[in-house]
Structure 1
């Protein structure tokens, strides 16, 4: 029933739900316990017992699983099966208010970015992606302004004044220029890693 409900909603999901994010809360937390129970036999106590272990510790996941289960029950009702349409609402009442407090992950201070960037040296796909994201997070001005009064050179947005690109006399000394060369290198490496991964999977 869960798979049938998922199939009916694919058109509403990004990429037809191929990433699996819609179905995973059901697959991981509901189906292992209720997958073999006839949908018409599922009641609020079954749902409560299934989601109680994660109701407070993984509140967001539990909420998604509850919502997805409600969709499955409504789908079953639309097929003419005798199901309790209020089972999820009753289960929420039995479980009570979630005590989980959202804790935001603190951002990395910009002064620590260079050190963090240098620590990403193993060349894994994850580290390449992180290096690509942080490559320009230096918070420093361009070191080769094209004309007086500008904080960036023509390479980085100034209008007129100096030759463009490699013709600029200080091309090799622009910090962000070097970073952009590094970005291109990282992009190429990351692309190769992704292609290799796709070839292995397929």
Structure 2
């Protein structure tokens, strides 16, 4: 029977409990009690199980570990020493992932916790439409305040609600990247307090207010007289609302007080 491969997911790599977790094909994730996470290549030689460490998960991604493990399996099959693969292969740089890759990885890791599929799609769409064209190919560590201004300034006053969501989602992606050692978490250029609040006006000051339509003051007596001629509950409810200034939801949901005597 062929050995099953790619048993782990990115989410599993992040959340697996202490112990050994197989990805198939001799590749294992080892999680210690301290919750440090590292890759291990396990194989048999001369009847004994041997292990070769492939580095921590924050240095070598799941995809990279799989590629190394594949080369090591080929070395074993050819009668060679799999350790030679890791000796000659240069260590991957810690910050090779782009902002776009981090964003998509973060969305995928949270997908199971987002019960609304539309919400997941909105995350992907807003980042695709606004952030990725400006700095999607940059490393998270290279994203600057100037990049954020390039994304937000054109829409801050005209699409304020959308702009706030874009800002918050960029902040979340950069925080996610920081947790994985891809940028400095203490200097997130998408953070509002202490950063963007110094260069952008408060949302409430630029959001256009849209008031509900209202009757002219001079027309109120005529409206009240017309309502007085109607006996149904909705008409009486509207009269009550006009006379008291109560919120419409409170007026519609009001219930008679029960006597305690």
How does the TM-score come out when normalised to structure 2?
0.37
Quick check: which one's helix share is greater?
Answer: 1
**Structure with bigger RCO (C-alpha 8 Å, 6+ apart):** 1
Higher CA-based Rg: 2
Quick check: which one's strand share is greater?
Answer: 2
How does the TM-score come out when normalised to structure 1?
0.47
